[in-house]
Structure 1
Amino acid sequence: MISTRHMVFMHVAELLSFSKASQVLFISQPAISKHIQLLEAQYQTKLFERKGLQIELTAAGQLLLSRLQTVKTIEQQTEFDISVLQDALQARGNLKLGASTTVALYILPKVMSAFNQQFQQIEISLLNRNSELVREALINKQINLGIIEENSKVPQIQYTPFITDKVIAVCSSNSKVLKKKIYTLQELIELPIALREVGSGTLAVLKRGLSKHKIKLSQLNVKVRLGGTEALKNFLLASDAVGFLPNISVQKELKSGELREIQIEGLKLKRQFFFIERKGEKAELNKVFIKMANSIYNY
């Protein structure tokens, strides 16, 4: 069990703020400072150093945070494993998920709902970021299981294939682009384009697909870049631009006729979703969640 003093340190270290940690923990700032002072006395070294108005972890502080995050993960896994031995339906634990936008909005809700119904004592949290930031959160031990849209082969991460989906070109049903049903790749370069932000799995898929035809993203007539699938979708609904979105994210709009798919001759975009975990860690809770997700999507 992690001591209160160490738990206070973890909050300050992760937030890099004594005042924010005080607000989160409902402890006065002087009390927070006292806990840190006692830890520094215990380890006989500074854990934080001030940089103007900011604080940063020292090398010792970084080491302590890393070790405590590992201990916390083991503690949570142990709580789940022991509770399962007693009664699987009353299993306890904390499942910290991270997912890219498409997964968080259109795939995970069904899985999380089913998981919550079966394991009602397990607390689930979800970090919604693009693929790049989810990988960082996993490596930094802010989450225990991630689901992202590309396999970038980061050495510290273990990848498990999940499901596949298409990325398609769409535009508003009122767009002037609809004067043609099929465009060539050379004609695509002239169309007004709206894209996702750098770090997006959807953007990475488009970049790889175009590169096979020796076309760079910089060659496209990009009018706007937007952070998030819903932001891009809403922009397309109100503009003449063409955007590339996951097929699963636009089913409702395609069915209602608000959006229309544009065919780009020779351009086929598919991407694989992966579960990601830190290498060397065997978490039974992750395994249970992955198994349920695969059963729901018939993988």
Structure 2
Amino acid sequence: MEVDQLRYFLRVAERGNFTRAAEELLISQPALSRSIQKLEEELGQPVFERKTRSVALTEAGKLLQSRAQQVLTLIADTKAEISDDGQSGQIRVGAIPTIAPFFLPDLLRQFSTEFPKASLIVQEDTTDHLLKRCTQGEIDLAIIALPVPAKYLEVEELFEEELLLVLPPDHPLVDKPHIRLNDIKSYPFVLLDEAHCLSDNIVSFCRQRSFHPVAVEQTSQLAMVQELVSLSHGISMIPQMARRLDKTDRRVYRSISGNSPTRKIAAVWNPYRFQSRLLLEFRKRLHEYSQIQCSLK
């Protein structure tokens, strides 16, 4: 039984499809199929139940999945611990799309300058996928918005930021001295689709105040939300970090008076995985950088 066989098996199990797994592993589908077949021959029973366009784990496959994850984790941690010099190595950072492009670039540049031998890999994904990857050891740390629906992960709250109301320049609320929640109830919203937790933050804030925002359009990118607002398709709420990078005059940002909506940003990692000295240094810089973000408006 070879390490690559276990790695290939886990990718097929995760994707539920040989074609997609082969594409991601950068090998041919016949080569992947042969590898899994040799694994099944060695075990003496099938690990996948083949269907027309997908596969499902058999009972033997479920057991192998658990053990294979443990084996690969142990190998990766052993290699990392042996080669840990505090200066070189790879750090895999995950972040949700409403954080990654607005928060990470300066932090990554600063860290790369201080640790030029380090390799930083950034993966952008939804909260659920990042938590799963963090649990399984596919990434070392994830930066997400609270709450965190996962057990056995360490969570450090980094900072809290305001969600700002964004309006087209000709919107009737632009000239209003103080905008309250009641003022926006009758206006349609442009929101991210349901895969993004920012929409949950916004809807939850409104619901707690007996108001459910009506979304006329949903999109998968925050930049598109901003553009649709500029085109008067609706209004929305945008994180402070995204507003700071928006230099256009085609949108107007305002705070909501009273109890303004906010979101809490946190770092998440698996405490049962080996924590290299380089990763600990990154976490330290992340904490320091986050304190700076707290002071920015």
The 3 A distance-change label for structure 1 pair 131 and 29 is: closer
1:164 to 160, 166, 175: 160
The 3 A distance-change label for structure 1 pair 53 and 175 is: same
C-alpha contact 1:137 1:143 (8 A) present in aligned 2: yes
| Alignment partner, residue 295 of structure 2 | none
SS of residue in 2 equivalent to 1:98: strand
Name stretches of at least 5 consecutive residues in structure 2 with no aligned partner: 293-297
1:223 to 201, 216, 233: 216
Is 1:52 matched with 2:45?
A: no
C-alpha contact 1:147 1:275 (8 A) present in aligned 2: yes
SS of residue in 2 equivalent to 1:170: strand
TM-score by length of 2: 0.84
Partners in 2 of 1:18 and 1:235 — Cα distance?
Answer: 39
TM-score by length of 1: 0.83
Cα shift readout 1:17-67 (whole Å, capped 9, x = no counterpart): 334444455544433222212211222221111122212222322332333
| Alignment partner, residue 205 of structure 2 | 209
Q: What percent identity do the matched residue pairs reach?
A: 21
Q: How many residues align?
A: 291
Structure 2 letter corresponding to 1:96: R
C-alpha contact 2:185 2:211 (8 A) present in aligned 1: no
SS of residue in 2 equivalent to 1:161: strand
| Alignment partner, residue 252 of structure 2 | 260
> Bigger CA drift: 138-147 or 18-27?
18-27
Structure 2 letter corresponding to 1:54: S
| Alignment partner, residue 243 of structure 1 | 236
| Alignment partner, residue 64 of structure 1 | 64
The 3 A distance-change label for structure 1 pair 260 and 2 is: farther
Partners in 2 of 1:67 and 1:148 — Cα distance?
Answer: 28
Name stretches of at least 5 consecutive residues in structure 1 with no aligned partner: none
| Alignment partner, residue 78 of structure 2 | 78
The 3 A distance-change label for structure 1 pair 26 and 275 is: closer
C-alpha contact 2:192 2:218 (8 A) present in aligned 1: yes
SS of residue in 2 equivalent to 1:204: helix
Partners in 2 of 1:121 and 1:270 — Cα distance?
Answer: 37
Is 1:281 matched with 2:278?
A: no
SS of residue in 2 equivalent to 1:283: coil
Partners in 2 of 1:147 and 1:296 — Cα distance?
Answer: 13
Partners in 2 of 1:160 and 1:2 — Cα distance?
Answer: 37
| Alignment partner, residue 188 of structure 2 | 192
Partners in 2 of 1:242 and 1:292 — Cα distance?
Answer: 35
> Bigger CA drift: 269-278 or 256-265?
256-265
Residue 243 of structure 1: how far off its partner (Å): 0.7
5 Å matches for 1:96-115? Answer: 96-115=92-111
